[in-house]
Homo-oligomer: A and B are copies of this chain.
Amino acid sequence: MEPNAIEAKIKQLPQLHFERMHLTDFLLTWEKSADEIAAVFAVADILQGMRRSNISARVFDSGLAISLFRDQSTRTRFSFASAANLLGLTLADLDEGKTQIAHGETVRETANMVSFMADAIGIRDDMYIGRGNTYMREVAAAVQQGYDAGILEQRPTLVNLQCDIDHPTQSMSDMQHLIHTFGGVENLRDKKIAMSWAYSPSYGKPLSVPQGVAGLMTRFGMNVVLAHPPGYEIMPEVEAEAAKQAKASGGSFTRTHSMQEAFTDADIVYPKSWAPFAAMEKRTDLFGQGDMEGIKALEKELLAQNAGFKQWECTEELMKRTLQGKALYLHCLPADITGVSCAAGEVTASVFDRYRDPLYRQASYKPYIIAAMILLARFKNPADLLQKRMQAARKRVR
């Protein structure tokens, strides 16, 4: 994007209604209006355009971005670090092992104690159904209380970096990739996307990726097909939301127990392993009871269950069933690649290899999506702010 095109995009921003995002959080995509979702994509594009034109997008001279990862992460961790850095915020990682949190601090207290100079908070908490999103809402309520009481000088915005329900920075990056690949969101109407379960030798992968895809991509008139073996259902509330949205957008949301059926004539395929929702709920209960023996037994049971569905693999044969054999293959990475990272996995090596560049590009949008979410929550008039940055034309690299 040339500077002129960036400025044009900035000028169009005020056509969208996203005022409600100011001083709030980004927890679930389906809580946001169509305009708010569109604003995130637009601002992400603008920020990427600015960086590619070597124009600094630092809108903070100082300030912290707090991160809290309750599960391992590479790309989301670095995406959050990159987004913070792009805007001028400094990352401060709340490593629970190094803190006194284990010593009886409440969520409310910790949230305020780390936020005196925080403009953003990013949290990953995806291990237990019913826990992660709830925890994020507690943190958000706590900093809101602190801000209302005049204790916090600013209201840090909370960005959901993956919870038990949604993975909005992932699904929004995936969607941005589709928008760019298909040449605009309007071109996605009537496209068929197969969000399919796939076999993995590990068990218990988060449900937030398929749920995030179902909860977002049903909004744009696409035909979203959710495919999985019997017993691998996702959260019913998300399915209901997806169905409602599909109807409203003029698309569809269907389910099938056949990977073949899902792939047939698909424009886009997203084959990925996840854990059965019911089993994850049971796991949370066992965890709540401190029943570690029960958890071990459940894991064994789930691995045995998984092993019955090794044929759910994204092969060249399956890819041939897609539209002209050329569907866009998506994955949030890392993928379980048959013969590479495991004996039998989600995808054959030849399919994965063919799509490596697009896969990396898919991931590359995440820093900009996160930065856009922060910017829209922290600034009342983003168009004015960005326009001034364009005029200042401060170089990112001198």
Contact = CB atoms under 8 A, between A and B. Distances in A.
A278 interface: no
A74 B92 contact: no
A321 interface: no
A91 B85 CA distance: 10
Contacts of A79: 116
A397 B98 contact: no
A230 interface: no
A1 to B, nearest CB: 12
A77 B99 contact: yes
A79 to B, nearest CB: 7
A333 interface: yes
A interface residue count range (under 10 / 10 to 19 / 20 to 34 / 35 or more):
35 or more
Interface stretch (A258-266, A285-293, A361-369): A361-369
A99 B81 CA distance: 14
Interface string A335-366: 01100111000000000000011001101101
Interface string A64-86: 10100100111101110110011
Given A61-B396, A103-B334, A78 B364 contact: no
Protomer copies: 3
A60 interface: yes
Contacts of A229: none
B117 A85 contact: yes
A63 interface: yes
Contacts of A86: 62, 117
Nearest to A104: B341
Contacts of A4: none
A367 B74 contact: no
Contacts of A388: 398
Interface in A361-398: 361, 363-364, 366-367, 378-379, 385, 388-389, 394-398
Nearest to A389: B398
A169 B360 CA distance: 31
A316 interface: no
Interface string A188-210: 00000000000000100000000
Contacts of A301: none
A395 to B, nearest CB: 7
Contacts of A108: 356
Interface stretch (A37-45, A145-153, A156-164, A212-220): A145-153
A59 interface: yes
Contacts of A116: 78-79, 82, 363-364, 366-367
A394 B99 contact: no
Given A104-B334, A117-B86, A77 B61 contact: no
A394 B62 contact: no
A233 to B, nearest CB: 25
B100 A78 contact: no
Contacts of A342: 104
Given A98-B69, A104-B342, A113-B78, A151 B60 contact: no
11 contacts: A58-B62, A63-B85, A75-B113, A78-B113, A85-B92, A103-B334, A112-B363, A113-B333, A113-B363, A116-B366, A117-B367
Given A51-B117, A51-B153, 16 more contacts: A66-B78, A72-B98, A73-B98, A74-B105, A75-B114, A77-B98, A79-B116, A82-B116, A100-B334, A105-B334, A106-B341, A113-B363, A149-B360, A151-B357, A154-B397, A385-B398
Interface of A: 51-52, 56-64, 66, 69, 72-75, 77-79, 81-82, 85-86, 88, 90-92, 94, 98-101, 103-106, 108-110, 112-114, 116-117, 119, 146, 149-154, 202, 333-334, 336-337, 340-342, 356-357, 360-361, 363-364, 366-367, 378-379, 385, 388-389, 394-398
